Amino acid sequence: MYFRTKKNKKTLLDRLLIKGGRIVNDDQSFYADIYMEDGLIKQIGDNLIVPGGVKTIEANGKMVIPGGIDIHTHFQMPYRGTTTVDDFTQGTKAALAGGTTMIVDHVIPDPGCSLVEAFERWREWADDKACCDYSLHVDITHWNDSVKQEVEVLLKEKGVNSYQVYMAYKDLYQMSNSELYEIFTFLGELGGIVQVHAENGEIIAEEQARMLGMGITGPEGHVLSRPEELEAEAVFRAVTIASQTNCPLYVTRVMSKSAADIISQARKKGNVVFGEPITASLGTDGTHYWSKNWAKAASYVTSPPLSPDPTTPDYLNTLLASGDLNVTGSAHCTFSVAQKAIGKDDFTQIPEGVNGVEERMSLIWDKAVVTGKMDENMFVAVTSTNAAKILNLYPRKGRIAIGSDSDLVIWDPDVVRTITAKTHNSAAEYNVFEGMELRGAPTLVVCQGKIILEDGKLQATSGSGRFIPCSPFPDFAYKRVKARKQLAVLRAVPRGMYDGPVSDFTPMSRGGTPSASARTSPTKAPIRNLHQSGFTLAGPEEAPIRPAGRRIVVPPGGRSNITSLS
């Protein structure tokens, strides 16, 4: 309560000057001073005229970068009556300690329950506890007309522009291809971003039964039942559907080489698709699933799993550096050993998730910048700027510029730290990066214009984080999509009526399968009708109303495929 009052009285009056820093944005680096007031960057330049008595920080030529945005967290996530051990306070503290000043958490409504209610519940939790700004993705865990209306409400009124669907978790969250097609079509019209958890849940279910049948019950069964091909297959399918529906696609948790390859191939063909490797896939591998220490092996359990191929992290870092993968999250979702032990006799029952929110920035610096794969500007792009662009928060977030939020980090590339569960800011007993020595760390973190981390001390305040609404149609994703929609007009060939003989036939022999009704998506007919209800968007853009494919009528002799760049 204390903070609510303070906020109202405009307590963000903190004024701050950073002198002699090298400002690093995603496009360039330059030396200048930064003056902040009321949580915003007010001036950038040399010899700034600032009020007296301003707290001044001497950067001594060190890099000043936009605070990181962790685009994927699961803090305080409910799981079968328990909750992940890092709540919004613990989680955002860990984030800030690592140089991340904004997180985007996933709302996971129980299947059958209201999306808006779940969203409000997450808002309450986070408003109460978050120490840094946050936004929310909403996961679509079931699909029907009312879900559709709720998505529209969330998108237009609640500031949610990204929605995750699951291709895995059969009989729980998993969507059929037809449902995916409808969701993609719907979100493509409303200007949302579709995120997918890409794994083929049907095959996983078969493989799990097989593993358990063979008597494999430990954490190694988790990775054996989820081979990386299943991840790549689902990514491929999601790309196909996104391309058909002309909807921007975002693949969460890119864990394997082959999944990353599919994304980079699709981008080369012109698809609007973004890939999100996470701290864990960039920093470690799946060999630990075979650890003789059950608790350690279980701490690595996440889906898609870490790849047993130890060359995976290096490969993913390379693609991140080359721009084939674009954003990084942590998918931070931590359970205690006792919680993981729910699955001690059956790996399918182990709660899934790994840590990574605190380690993300340092790990990428160490693996990608120190090794010369990317420069400091690209580092800012993949840890902050690109995420801000996709979420439509740019340049408020993700850039050091006048008018932007004063979420900054002074980055010291020379600090060397050893990651260990003994010192980390998470409540979990294990750290999947245990013992890893990383170069690069924040020496000062400024969040909402206030110094949160200085001299290794964290001074975060629960409940000070604000919800940042994200608006639809982010330019970064939708400029291309809109242009393609304008081109995509399908026309029938004008022909005279066919007036020749017509065979007799039994019309209904097709569709006579007994299980046909069960297989058909139950939501089909009403959804189609809504597409044609004359609904228009409230936003300023003249958005196309009809679902538009990306193809155009092919003249005999050739077609121009506008998703192909060649």
Partner 1 sequence: PLNSERLLIKGAKIVNDDQSLFADIYMEDGLIKQIGENLIVPGGVKTIDAQGRMVMPGGIDVHTRFQMPDRGMTAADDFYQGTCAALAGGTTMIIDHVVPECGIGLLAAFNQWRDWADSKSCCDYSLHVDITEWHRGIQEDMETLVKDHGVNSFLVYLAYKDVFQLTDSQIYEVFSVIRDLGAVAQVHAENGDIIAEEQHRILDLGITGPEGHVLTHPEEVEAEAVNRSVTVANQTNCPLYITKVMSKSAADVIAQARKKGTVVFGEPITASLGTDGSHYWSKNWAKAAAYVTSPPLSPDPTTPDYLSSLLSCGDLQVTGSAHCTFSTAQRAVGKDDFTLIPEGTNGTEERMSIIWDKCVVTGKMDENQFVAVTSTNAAKIFNLYPRKGRVAVGSDADLVLWDPDITKIISAKSHNLAVEYNIFEGMEVRGAPLVVISQGKIVLEDGTLHTTEGSGRYVARKPYPDYVYKRIKARSRLAELRGVPRGLYDGPVCEVSVTPKAVTPASSAKTSPAKQPTQPVRNLHQSGFSLSGAQIDDNVPRRNTQRIVAPPGGRANITSLG
Q: Which of residues 468-507 bind partner 1 (CB under 8 A)?
A: 490-496, 498, 500-507
Supply the minimum distance, in Å, between the C-beta of residue 384 and partner 1: 33
Rounded to a whole number, what is the distance in angstroms from the first to the last CA of the chain? Answer: 59
- List binders of partner 1 among 115-154 (CB under 8 A): 142
Asked if the bond preceding 304 is cis, omega within 30° of 0, the reply is yes
Alpha-helical (H) ranges within 354-440 are: 360-364, 376-380, 386-390
Each residue 243-282 as x (binds partner 1 by CB under 8 A) or -, in order, gives: xx--------------------------------------
Q: Which of 120, 479, 520, 541 binds partner 1 (CB under 8 A)?
A: 520
Run of H or E including 20: strand 15-24
Q: Which of 237, 417, 439, 480 binds partner 1 (CB under 8 A)?
A: 237
Residue at token pair 């609904």? 535
Tokens of 35: 């003056």
In the complex with partner 1, the residue whose CB is nearer, 59 or 230, is: 230
> Is residue 114 near partner 1 by the rule CB under 8 A?
no
| CB contact set of 327 (below 8 Å; sequence gap of 6+) | 71, 274, 275, 276, 382, 386, 387, 390
Using the contact rule CB under 8 A, the part of the chain among 158-166, 431-439, 508-516, 535-543 near partner 1 is 508-516
In the complex with partner 1, the residue whose CB is nearer, 292 or 422, is: 292
Using the contact rule CB under 8 A, the part of the chain among 228-236, 326-334, 365-373, 435-443 near partner 1 is 228-236
Supply the minimum distance, in Å, between the C-beta of residue 188 and partner 1: 13
> Is residue 339 near partner 1 by the rule CB under 8 A?
yes
Calculate the CA dihedral of residues 90, 92, 93, 94 and round it to 10 degrees. Answer: 90
- List binders of partner 1 among 304-323 (CB under 8 A): 308-310
Supply the minimum distance, in Å, between the C-beta of residue 148 and partner 1: 15
> Is residue 352 near partner 1 by the rule CB under 8 A?
no
- List binders of partner 1 among 416-445 (CB under 8 A): none
> Is residue 540 near partner 1 by the rule CB under 8 A?
no
> Is residue 372 near partner 1 by the rule CB under 8 A?
no
Q: Which of 4, 542, 557, 566 binds partner 1 (CB under 8 A)?
A: 557
Supply the minimum distance, in Å, between the C-beta of residue 351 and partner 1: 9
Q: Which of 12, 77, 232, 272 binds partner 1 (CB under 8 A)?
A: 232
> Is residue 227 near partner 1 by the rule CB under 8 A?
yes
Using the contact rule CB under 8 A, the part of the chain among 31-39, 110-118, 435-443, 465-473 near partner 1 is 110-118
Q: Which of 60, 120, 157, 214 binds partner 1 (CB under 8 A)?
A: 214
> Is residue 533 near partner 1 by the rule CB under 8 A?
no
> Is residue 295 near partner 1 by the rule CB under 8 A?
yes
Supply the minimum distance, in Å, between the C-beta of residue 556 and partner 1: 4
In the complex with partner 1, the residue whose CB is nearer, 309 or 375, is: 309
Report the alpha-carbon distance of residue 193 to residue 137 in Å, rounded. Answer: 10
Asked if the bond preceding 472 is cis, omega within 30° of 0, the reply is no
Run of H or E including 56: strand 55-58
Using the contact rule CB under 8 A, the part of the chain among 291-299, 317-325, 389-397, 441-449 near partner 1 is 291-299
Q: CA–CA distance from 261 to each of 235, 264, 373, 387, 497 (Å)? A: 10, 5, 18, 21, 48
In the complex with partner 1, the residue whose CB is nearer, 43 or 287, is: 287
The answer to whether the CB of 150 falls within 8 A of the CB of 182 is no
Residue 104 CA, chain-centre distance (Å), reads 8
Total residues interacting with partner 1, rule: CB under 8 A = 108
Q: CA–CA distance from 233 to each of 325, 380, 420 (Å)? A: 17, 31, 35
Which pairs from 231-234 meet CB under 8 Å and 24+ separation? Answer: 231/198, 231/199, 231/255, 231/256, 231/258, 231/259, 231/304, 232/256, 232/258, 232/259, 232/261, 232/262, 233/200, 233/203, 234/167, 234/168, 234/196, 234/198, 234/199, 234/200
> Is residue 299 near partner 1 by the rule CB under 8 A?
no
Supply the minimum distance, in Å, between the C-beta of residue 184 and partner 1: 10
Using the contact rule CB under 8 A, the part of the chain among 59-67, 235-243, 274-282, 444-452 near partner 1 is 235-243
Position 275: which residue type? G
> Is residue 547 near partner 1 by the rule CB under 8 A?
yes
Residue 404: half-sphere exposure toward Cβ, Cα within 13 Å: 23
Other beta carbons within 10 angstroms of residue 49's beta carbon come to 7
Length of the chain: 566
Report the alpha-carbon distance of residue 253 to residue 259 in Å, rounded. Answer: 10
- List binders of partner 1 among 158-177 (CB under 8 A): 170-172, 174, 176-177
Report the alpha-carbon distance of residue 102 to residue 253 in Å, rounded. Answer: 18
- List binders of partner 1 among 176-195 (CB under 8 A): 176-178, 181-182, 185
- List binders of partner 1 among 80-109 (CB under 8 A): 80-82
